[in-house]
Amino acid sequence: MKKMMLLCSLFVLLQVAAYGQAAYAEWVDEIKGDTLVIKDFADMGDQANSLYEAINADSVNVPDGRVYLLKDNGWYPVTNIPTTSNGKKIIIMGESNESIKLRKSKDSPAVLSGYVCEGTFFYVGIKSGYDLLVKNISANVGNPGGLLGWTLFGGEPNSRLTVQNCILEHNQWCMINPKAGSKVIFKDNYIVNLVGSPYRRNGGIIDYFANQDTIVFENNTVINAQGDLFRFRSGYTVNRSIFNHNTFINCAGSLFMNMGNTGNISLTNNLFVNSNVQAHCSLNQFEDSGYGDVDGLPMGLVNVYDDSLARENGITFYADKNAVYWSPIWDDYIPTLIENHVNLTTEWYSQRIIMNSRTADMFADDCNYPYLCNGEWIEGVQPNFTEPQDLFNTQLNNLKTYALACVDTASVATLPNWRLVFTPIVDYFVYADFPIPVDLSYSNPEFLTAGLGGFPIGDLNWFPSQYAEWEAQKASEYEGINSYYYHFPRCPDAIEVISNEVKEFALEQNFPNPFNPSTVITYSIPKASMVTLKVYDVLGKEVATLVNEQQNAATYKVDFDASALSSGVYLYKIEAGNYTMTKKMSLLR
């Protein structure tokens, strides 16, 4: 027994000694397995850069999945740019995994921000060297000296950055400027006050000057932004872009600046309120070179352009189950600009539109653009948010004032910050409003079941029980969304509910049969199910996916256009829950 105790004591002493000798020990408060608890500003005797120093010093035998834990109520200012280990997954995280939007704890999340350092130009807060996950913290590109940096995140080429469940505030340009081949995932974040630059296009989320692999923006809430949020620049492609279940409120600039080249975009289950409001004027095309529509048209929420790179990338865009609302306060916005001859012109046009005329014509042209699919939009319905505070009175007036001012080419106006808890502007709000002062759940029956699979539209973090249900079926939902790109083209509005009174599963014979070139297939499901309806040739090769989504109980009919197929016998098969049925149909030319 004594020998055992002696061995245990020796082991502990060796571990303590090894920790004490570790290169990162000076900046680490505690070690827990692969987790390093980082000292904050106060722990360091009011010295900045503990996170930077710990990451730089932690360079020998770094385990995959290394965690740098930042303490609640701690401040972690950086004056240099830490880059995480190459070839390892690294996690920088706060202590609580509770939703940042619902968390009511008096302990605020750890804060990562800039710091006053003479001669330092604060550019990026942290870079991904390979695969970096940042979660459960508050991150700010400002500092206590009133300086505002350009962007918060960066990364090496072909790296991955995931930002999850964070409060993100402020920049003079964008939240991230990724290098070539990057994967960028933002989910479950609360993003507010992207303001501060005198250039009205700045204050965004992502901008890039190289081809990208993936952009995913999921279950985020964005409030009070002045610039263009997502910039799909001419000449660069993104292999896949997903915008699903997000809420945007009072965002002035173009939400999705798309100048062509980019395909494989899906825009689903999003809620847009008083956003995309800045007016369009052809006179601004020169000033906004590199930001405006290629044809000089207003840019709506959905924008596509036909060029060689876009064709190479498939010219694919799937929009469905979104909602958009603009307050009546905007009714006199364009007339006011025209009446006052702002910029000595009356050529002012609204960008409070879903899509411009060229984009609408392309979506309507199924022959030349079969993979452009625009499904359902709820328009003109005001969300009855549970607790919006002053977003739709005082702050909406501020947004309109800014939108009227910033269209003048001589303007250096910035959108005022929106704050309810910490109000001094001198430190660029290093400490965020916390707990988050709004509750953006809502009671509108039009929205509560309008999303894919019957889920609420917008950020599901405001609906925690539905969020859990959504997570359980998330993979199948994305499989259905992706099917619009990688299978036989079919727009979602080709599916129609014809009855809600259903007693049993059924797959009817298509009509007409034989057909040329289109036919209608009717099926019934008596309970909510994941439904796939596919068409095969007689050799069993799949030639079309007509349905691949979660559906509520109902009888549906779906159009099948076989213009691209040759004459012959085909099989169509439904799978819904445990129900499977296959039938034959004949295409005669």
Number of CB atoms found within 10 A of residue 412's CB: 11
Stretch among 111-120, 273-282, 465-474 having the lowest mean pLDDT: 111-120
Cis ω on the peptide bond leading into residue 512 (within 30° of 0)? Answer: yes
Q: Find the mean pLDDT for residues 205-234.
A: 95
Query: Which residue, among 572, 563, 568, has the nearest Cα to 521 in the 3D structure?
Result: 572
Domains contained in the chain, number: 3
**Angle, CA 195 vertex, CA 153 and CA 204 arms, to 5°:** 45
Looking at the fold, whether 278 and 412 belong to one and the same domain comes out as yes
- In a domain, residue 126? The reply is yes
- For residue 47, pLDDT over 70 is answered with yes
Looking at the fold, whether 97 and 117 belong to one and the same domain comes out as yes
Looking at the fold, whether 52 and 33 belong to one and the same domain comes out as yes
Q: Which residue has the tokens 């060796």?
A: 14
Give the sign of the dihedral formed by CA 509, CA 510, CA 516, CA 517. Answer: negative
Cβ proximity of 457 and 273 under 8 Å: no
**Each residue of 458-471: b (16+ CB within 10 Å) or e?**
bbbbbbeebbeebe
Looking at the fold, whether 28 and 147 belong to one and the same domain comes out as yes
- pLDDT value for 10: 40
- For residue 1, pLDDT over 60 is answered with no
- pLDDT value for 5: 44
Residue 142 to residue 152: CA distance in whole angstroms: 9
Looking at the fold, whether 264 and 389 belong to one and the same domain comes out as yes
Q: In which band, very low, low, confident or very high, does the pLDDT at 264 lie, cut at 50, 70 and 90?
A: confident
Looking at the fold, whether 231 and 182 belong to one and the same domain comes out as no
- In a domain, residue 168? The reply is yes
- In a domain, residue 512? The reply is yes
- pLDDT value for 476: 85
Residue 364 to residue 458: CA distance in whole angstroms: 26
Q: Which residue has the tokens 């964005």?
A: 222
Residue 534 belongs to a domain with what CATH number?
2.60.40.1930
For residue range 9-28, what is the model confidence (pLDDT) as tens digits?
444 444 444 445 689 999 99
Stretch among 10-24, 369-383, 465-479, 508-522 having the lowest mean pLDDT: 10-24
Give the sign of the dihedral formed by CA 234, CA 239, CA 244, CA 247. Answer: negative
- In a domain, residue 94? The reply is yes
For residue range 302-316, what is the model confidence (pLDDT) as tens digits?
999 887 767 766 678
- In a domain, residue 11? The reply is no
Looking at the fold, whether 369 and 481 belong to one and the same domain comes out as yes
Which one is predicted more confidently, 265 or 366?
265
- pLDDT value for 2: 47
Query: Which residue, among 138, 102, 152, 133, has the nearest Cα to 459 in the 3D structure?
Result: 102
Q: What is the DSSP letter of 148?
A: B
- For residue 288, pLDDT over 60 is answered with yes
Q: What is the DSSP letter of 60?
A: S
Q: Find the mean pLDDT for residues 418-431.
A: 68
- pLDDT value for 479: 82
- pLDDT value for 21: 63
Non-local (6+) Cβ contacts of 587 within 8 A are 514, 515, 516, 517, 562, 565, 566, 567, 568, 569, 570
For residue range 504-517, what is the model confidence (pLDDT) as tens digits?
999 999 999 999 98
- For residue 279, pLDDT over 90 is answered with yes
- For residue 566, pLDDT over 60 is answered with yes
For residue range 122-177, what is the model confidence (pLDDT) as tens digits?
566 799 999 999 999 999 888 777 778 889 999 999 999 999 999 999 888 999 99
- pLDDT value for 495: 85
Which one is predicted more confidently, 259 or 177?
177
- For residue 480, pLDDT over 50 is answered with yes
Looking at the fold, whether 149 and 278 belong to one and the same domain comes out as no
Q: Counting Cβ atoms within 10 Å, is residue 589 exposed (0-12), middle (13-18) or buried (19+)? A: exposed
For residue range 525-534, what is the model confidence (pLDDT) as tens digits?
999 899 999 9
- In a domain, residue 264? The reply is yes
Looking at the fold, whether 523 and 401 belong to one and the same domain comes out as no
- In a domain, residue 427? The reply is no
Looking at the fold, whether 136 and 89 belong to one and the same domain comes out as yes
Range of the domain at 498: 494-587
For residue range 181-203, what is the model confidence (pLDDT) as tens digits?
999 999 999 999 999 888 888 99
Looking at the fold, whether 504 and 571 belong to one and the same domain comes out as yes
- Looking at the DSSP assignment, which residues form a beta bridge with residue 268? 244, 320
- pLDDT value for 260: 65
Residue 267 to residue 299: CA distance in whole angstroms: 15
Q: Find the mean pLDDT for residues 340-347.
A: 91
Cβ proximity of 82 and 68 under 8 Å: no
CA separation, residue 480 to residues 485, 486, 532 (Å): 10, 10, 9
- In a domain, residue 537? The reply is yes
Looking at the fold, whether 191 and 290 belong to one and the same domain comes out as no
Compute the mean pLDDT over every residue in the chain, rounded to the nearest whole number.
88
- For residue 259, pLDDT over 70 is answered with yes
